[in-house]
Chain A
């Protein structure tokens, strides 16, 4: 099971955190500090895996952003590495060649995508197409809602004039 997902920039700044196991705010800060310390100081040609406190951290660097997932010791590291890549490919498809800025300003959208991919610490959908379809369904509904809301408020505004 995935215990948490972290996105940390090369400068050690947090870009996204998602916790599937209970951690208090204090523990979270500690975890982020420890893991970014571990991850950022590793050389480029070493394993993408680090053992950390009885669990395993699988990470991968994309441009200046580190994607990292923490898994149980019996889980398959290579698979997790591909889950990360799968996530990045979906982000890439959604944002249209994704860059770090997209994630910074639209972190909530990244959360929605992650929610479609991984739920309760397990990968729930391995088809890129399905995830993309669901997300766009949600988005279109949101757009529709927005229009509706604005039209209603227009009506109200006109009526009250």
Chain B
């Protein structure tokens, strides 16, 4: 169809593409492209280039840009091309500019006028091309220029135009919500459009609107439900069906919206139950898209007000997912994580599947499983989960994910830590391996925790915590290349508590601190922490009346720092020197021991200066006038502010200027101020805009944005002062306590129901052959709180549980302990004879694939000798990409059920004929693999050969059809 009549380009361009295709390395490719850039630079500025030639140059520019090179020299020509009258050229021009330019590019301003003109065109295709460009190129500043026209297009006769206009408005909403807020009613209107495509497009902006503000859209629940019902009942035109599913993309969007609307709203949710149940029933689980809808249904059910029946259905669907291929397992784990919030006991049915996923070689699946574990962590399984997470964290290189998992470890440890000691150990590990990635706040939190203890009124426990921290830090400190954040924590803790328990002498610890400062001499923050720690240690020594003997290396460090380039370090060094010279009483006042949590009282009114002020006033100095009383000055300054702001906000205008009218300048700020207190968008002016769409609205809208902006600035500058920092630390610690308490009660209350669940599960368990290690893991992850459990594995639970609440025993030994105990009491093998059907979670799944693979392998082996040398170039990877499609074919009866050959896997889609012959499409003769469109491909091949593009061994796959 489209490709007929050749590729429509000149030999030159085809040669370029061909040579790129044959390039052996990236550098070779770059060289070719650089040559091409030179050619184009030269050619494109020649005078009187024919338009068709120019069009080709532009397309070549697109190609250059696509391959990652800079084609900015040609942007202006693409812009020029959008001005052209012929649609052919205009379309190319628009395509090029949408690919070249980001919305903040300087050239955009040259296109706006063309877009405005094209939006008014009679030809709907021109309007469509312009709307495409609008979606990509219009930025916040230029929205007012096109907004009225786009709104007008919502009533266009062609549905394609209406659809694109909606998407453009959606884009505007994302760019600047205020600009289209007045158009919400239009979206509601287009939701009832007779064209399903327009309705489907409207769901995008509505989804965003509902996300922001659920309440004001509650009345739409009924409409959405009835649309969804109609879609599910196949009332939409046949062309919206996708693999026999009625408009699945629209269904998914609707389900997303309903999930938002039904969240926490019993009444709205009840209306949804029927239709959700229907969709659950109707979704075809054998095809991918059916599962996509099903997954969205589960998400919806887990969001809205819970319904036991639907939750059961959802749980069934999840268990099906977990028994399927990798993609579905992934979705199943994700869905499980959502459902677990409502019914926490559901995870237990799937514990072995979850553990399989955790040990899967696929990183994606593993990470998803960690996410699930993170969601189901409680105080009984926190140790196992966090240890697993840390092990994984150490093993990966991806910094982004490392950061994420580290912060999760920290969060879980802070929330559920069974003992102080474990907490410190865990934090040490996290800092050691991902210290540079975690937020500095985490470090501050840790310091605070060590200083305050866990909030219990047990000083003994607190000091134990501290000395264990000090001990562990002294052990770690010698290791090379510790992250800076971790070193800061270490220095601080050593400074505060290094000598507190009297175990270590001051000189020992100061020596260690000097080593740190020396080893990390490039890190000024660490050095600052180190020298402050030294100061504290010396201060405590002096205050305690002991003689301070400063080690020679400390002395040299202090001297070095007092000559440092950093004024901060200098000051710290001088302060230290000054402090050492003071007597014991003074030192104790300046540096009290363990006072980091004491509140420091600040005399905000600076009363100690009163005497000095008095004296100065008496001497004739000007008295201080508080800011609030300086009325006259304030007015002028605000005036100036406004003027300045207006000047800076003076953007480009796309409309004709107003007729001059008498303006009273002094009044303008007065009239503006009331509107700033209201919602930033003055409603009446906008409604005017909808009807008239003249020059007036854009001005008023720009005025309102100005107002809004100014308001922001004012709030930032003059907003309420934030002095609450002193009180936050205490309130935080108390809230943490309550969190702990809640979590514990929760686990207790659910323990009974969980026990039942496990008992029903454990009946089946012994029949499945699972490695004892996995079982142990499962037990420690899932079975924590089930005290009533009497099965063999429960002994390990108990150990874990009981030990998790004792603080004396070293936690590092706990898991080992537990596992040792559970090993001898493994479920005896004779339980296997219970006669119930044994269902292993993984084995039957893998088998059919293996068989298929075997088939494929055989097919390959046979085919290779047949085709001889030509076939040797064919890589085996093409096979079985489409196993799931093939599987779906079995139900639909469209696709060849047995994927005997990778090339033919999708043949059903194009032809429907079953081809088992001609395995292994030979690289040199693509026609072999094409089957139904033999002639087509022969032509293509001939054409390609004419063009001089000969398939080489580097790209043997070029000639294979993507879709079989």
Contact = CB atoms under 8 A, between A and B. Distances in A.
Nearest to B86: A145
B14 interface: yes
Interface in B245-264: 247-250, 252
A53 B400 contact: yes
Contacts of A122: 167, 170, 201, 204
A54 B103 CA distance: 23
A160 B619 CA distance: 100
Nearest to B8: A106
Contacts of A155: none
Interface in A51-96: 51, 53-54, 60-65, 76-79, 81-83, 85-86, 88-89, 91-96
A121 B936 CA distance: 33
A142 B86 CA distance: 9
Contact of B59 (A92, A108, A123): A108
A124 B940 contact: no
Interface string A86-112: 101101111111111111111111011
Given A18-B99, A44-B877, A97 B937 contact: yes
Given A82-B248, A83-B249, A100-B962, A46 B910 contact: no
Contacts of A97: 910, 930, 932-933, 936-937, 961, 963-964
Nearest to A102: B3
Contact of B962 (A17, A65, A139): A65
Contacts of B2: 94-96, 106, 109, 135, 139
A103 B66 CA distance: 13
B959 interface: yes
Given A111-B95, A134-B128, A96 B933 contact: yes
Contact of B67 (A11, A14, A141): A14
B639 interface: no
Nearest to B907: A97
B99 A111 contact: yes
Interface string B201-240: 1001000000000000000000000000000000001011
Given A45-B326, A76-B252, A79-B249, A107 B961 contact: no
Contacts of B125: 137-138, 141
Contact of B330 (A47, A109, A123): A47
A76 B135 CA distance: 23
Contact of A120 (B87, B88, B171): B171
Interface string B81-100: 00000111001100100110
Interface in A10-59: 10-11, 13-14, 16-18, 22, 24-25, 28-29, 32, 43-51, 53-54
B474 interface: no
Contact of B957 (A44, A63, A130): A63
B171 to A, nearest CB: 4
Nearest to A137: B125
B73 interface: no
Contact of A92 (B95, B248, B404, B910): B910
A13 B33 CA distance: 13
Contacts of B247: 126
Contact of A123 (B98, B135, B249, B963): B249
Interface in B337-381: 361-365, 367
Nearest to A67: B962
Contacts of B67: 14
B502 interface: no
Contact of A79 (B136, B296, B878): B296
Given A63-B960, A101-B959, A105-B9, A82 B364 contact: no
B696 to A, nearest CB: 28
B465 interface: no
A90 to B, nearest CB: 11
B68 A124 contact: no
B576 to A, nearest CB: 44
Interface stretch (B284-292, B525-533, B563-571, B805-813): B284-292
Contacts of A10: 877, 957
Nearest to B6: A105
A63 B337 CA distance: 35
B909 interface: yes
A108 B60 CA distance: 10
Contact of A119 (B167, B326, B877): B167
B66 A17 contact: yes
A96 B292 CA distance: 28
B880 interface: yes
B163 A108 contact: no
B959 A22 contact: no
A40 B168 CA distance: 35
A150 B91 CA distance: 18
Contacts of B289: 78-79, 82
A127 B936 contact: no
A89 to B, nearest CB: 7
B91 A82 contact: no
B958 interface: yes
Contacts of A108: 59, 62, 92, 95
Interface string B615-646: 00000000000000000000000000000000
Given A91-B962, A92-B909, A124 B167 contact: yes
Contact of A25 (B68, B291, B963): B68
A82 to B, nearest CB: 5
A4 B865 CA distance: 43
Given A77-B331, A127-B196, A145-B88, A120 B364 contact: no
Interface-centre pick from A93, A95, A124 (highest chain B CB count, 10 A): A124
Interface centre among A11, A119, A129 (most CB of B within 10 A): A119
A10 to B, nearest CB: 7
B859 interface: no
B197 A76 contact: no
8 contacts: A22-B102, A92-B910, A99-B961, A100-B957, A101-B949, A108-B95, A126-B200, A136-B1
Interface of A: 9-11, 13-14, 16-18, 22, 24-25, 28-29, 32, 43-51, 53-54, 60-65, 76-79, 81-83, 85-86, 88-89, 91-109, 111-112, 115, 119-120, 122-130, 134-139, 141-142, 145-146, 149
